[in-house]
Amino acid sequence: MRGLNEHSQTRYFCFFAIALSATVGVAFSANLFTLYLFYEMLSFATYPLVAHHQDQEARSSGRKYLLYIVGASIGLVLPAMMICYNLTGTLEFSKQGIFTGTEPNATMLVLLLMLVLGFAKAGIMPFHSWLPAAMVAPTPVSALLHAVAVVKVGAFSVLRVLTGVFGIDLLARLNLGIVICYLAAFTVITASLIALSQDGLKRRLAFSTIGQLSYIVLGVALLSPKGMIGGMTHIAMHAFGKITLFFCAGAIFVATGKKNISEMVGIGRRMPITMVAFFIGSLSVIGLPPTGGFFSKWYLVQGTIQADQWPMLVVLLTSSLLNAAYFFPIVYKAFFCTPEEAMFEDRIEEAPIWCVVPLVITAAGSIALFFYPTLFLKLAELATR
């Protein structure tokens, strides 16, 4: 932000801090109502960040962001909460869920869809269009939106609905988990296919995020212990990989002013540290060693087998191939091209040190999680129990 001499930095960092505070509030919420309040606080705190540049495109994207995020939560989550309270008399999260199991199956299905789709930060289709639109924001905001806070709050909220409001036993008894599985699977494949056609680097990362979020939802919706561990662990593993990719996109923009992948041929020769970090982040998102993303994908694959959901196994393997198809060509063209194909002059060099240091740290974190994944795996196992 300072390297580009951005305006209104005081406002920017103020709302950034509020957004992080709201994220912590969501994580510690003990009931659906409190979670909803912090969820909405995060929505309104991130609007000034999305519309930071204050031009026509930023204002338009900001309005679209609010329409999807706030519109879905008020139109779907709020009435669903009222129905839940009317049926049960409570909104407190419970290990067994808050329902007795005597409610009509159709009512349970409608409530589940309202809550899962209403938390639109999870990016499940068709409530996903705000993610690519929000790419107009500064790169650190894109990293906040797509790797750490906003989208993970959406996925976390969906997990709390599945485990704390409905409960795994009720979902399994009513066979509702498979509905969410297919909804997530459709999002995973479709988002990956769309990402292949995107030339804008941040837009490609945005559609990648849409698919990766549904891995989290899919893992828990499998209702198998391995799947749930994989889905929950993917929250952290994806965060390290994707924030590395967004930091790299920001460093490239600061150093070269380029946003499109087609303009980045040969950039690895001028910005080797950045592009090596990009390669590591790509490996993590794809789910390949030596990065932490391997473990979450491994548990997800085991979860599909444990749940006897072979179609979901095909979805996971296919989407991983698609992940490789839209990431590896970027890295290949960055390093392996003829001097005539290279699109960068000798004067191009790495971004300023304070742009490069964070991406090196997060890339190193992705590798460290491959060798030391125990903390997140144990937390996920504890949550599953």
Give the whole-angstrom CA distance, residue 236 versus residue 275: 22
* Whether residue 85 has pLDDT greater than 90: yes
pLDDT at residue 122 in the model: 85
Q: Do residues 219 and 240 both lie within one domain?
A: yes
* Whether residue 41 has pLDDT greater than 90: yes
Final residue of a structural domain among 150, 174, 198 = 174
Q: Do residues 61 and 183 both lie within one domain?
A: no
* Whether residue 76 has pLDDT greater than 80: yes
* Whether residue 132 has pLDDT greater than 80: no
Q: Do residues 140 and 262 both lie within one domain?
A: no
pLDDT band at 302 (very low <50, low <70, confident <90, very high): very high
* Whether residue 203 has pLDDT greater than 90: no
Q: Do residues 296 and 337 both lie within one domain?
A: yes
Average pLDDT over residues 170-183: 91
pLDDT at residue 150 in the model: 83
* Whether residue 4 has pLDDT greater than 70: no
What does pLDDT average to over the chain? 88
* Whether residue 6 has pLDDT greater than 80: no
pLDDT band at 344 (very low <50, low <70, confident <90, very high): low
* Whether residue 2 has pLDDT greater than 70: no
Average pLDDT over residues 286-303: 93
pLDDT at residue 347 in the model: 64
Q: Do residues 249 and 374 both lie within one domain?
A: yes
pLDDT at residue 327 in the model: 92
pLDDT at residue 115 in the model: 93
**Domains in the chain: how many in total?**
2
Final residue of a structural domain among 117, 149, 174 = 174
Q: Do residues 251 and 192 both lie within one domain?
A: yes
Q: Do residues 44 and 112 both lie within one domain?
A: yes
Residue 14: which domain range? 1-174
* Whether residue 257 has pLDDT greater than 90: no
pTM: 0.89
Final residue of a structural domain among 155, 174, 193 = 174
* Whether residue 301 has pLDDT greater than 80: yes
pLDDT band at 68 (very low <50, low <70, confident <90, very high): confident
Instruction: Answer whether 344's CB lies under 8 Å from 275's CB.
Output: no
* Whether residue 82 has pLDDT greater than 90: yes
* Whether residue 320 has pLDDT greater than 80: yes
pLDDT band at 11 (very low <50, low <70, confident <90, very high): confident
Q: Do residues 298 and 355 both lie within one domain?
A: yes
